[in-house]
């Protein structure tokens, strides 16, 4: 399994790159000031970072309990991993989006749905790159 330090690096890199993509894009699409979107994004990012750490730890322990290898991870497993993560995060983020953006439940759901469709793609790509750049020490080859 990955170390706690590695999991922390993974989480911070994941969120920083995602924020650098989402804030300008959402500001433009939603016609909102970048500061307003940025504040919401940072709040949601902090919630996501906490969930990311807990979720990945639980996911790894779940794989171990099922007798499945942790690495390498297949594309289907990466897709399942990303979708389950987003489903859990969706439940937590809708109320915050409703409050901050003064959105109805339907509007907040629509905005979150856009993320639910985009972020798993980003997650699969990010995690694949992360595993190549920062391989698990036991899997390193010369």
Query: Rounded to whole angstroms, how far apart are CA atoms 18 and 32?
Result: 18
pTM value is 0.67
Residue 1 · residue 56 · CB < 8 Å: no
pLDDT at 36: 93
Reported as a pLDDT band with limits 50, 70 and 90, residue 138 is low
Query: Phi, psi at residue 32, to the nearest 5°?
Result: -120, 150
Span 79-104, average pLDDT:
89
pLDDT at 2: 85
Per-residue pLDDT tens digits for 7-39 = 899 989 998 999 999 999 999 999 999 999 999
Distances in whole angstroms, Cα of residue 50 to Cα of each of 33, 75, 76, 78, 97: 26, 24, 24, 20, 18
């Amino acid at each position: 399994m990955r170390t706690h330090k590695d999991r922390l690096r993974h989480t911070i890199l994941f969120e920083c790159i995602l924020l650098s993509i989402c804030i300008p894009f959402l500001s433009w699409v939603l016609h909102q000031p970048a500061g307003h979107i940025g504040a919401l994004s940072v709040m949601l990012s902090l919630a996501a970072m906490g969930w990311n750490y807990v979720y990945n730890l639980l996911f790894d322990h779940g794989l171990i309990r099922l007798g499945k290898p942790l690495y390498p991870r297949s594309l289907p497993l990466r897709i399942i991993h990303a979708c389950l993560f987003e489903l859990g995060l969706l439940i937590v983020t809708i109320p915050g989006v409703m409050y901050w953006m003064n959105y109805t439940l339907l509007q907040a759901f629509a905005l979150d749905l856009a993320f639910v469709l985009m972020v798993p793609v980003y997650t699969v790509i990010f995690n694949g790159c992360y595993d190549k750049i920062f391989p698990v020490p036991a899997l390193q080859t010369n």
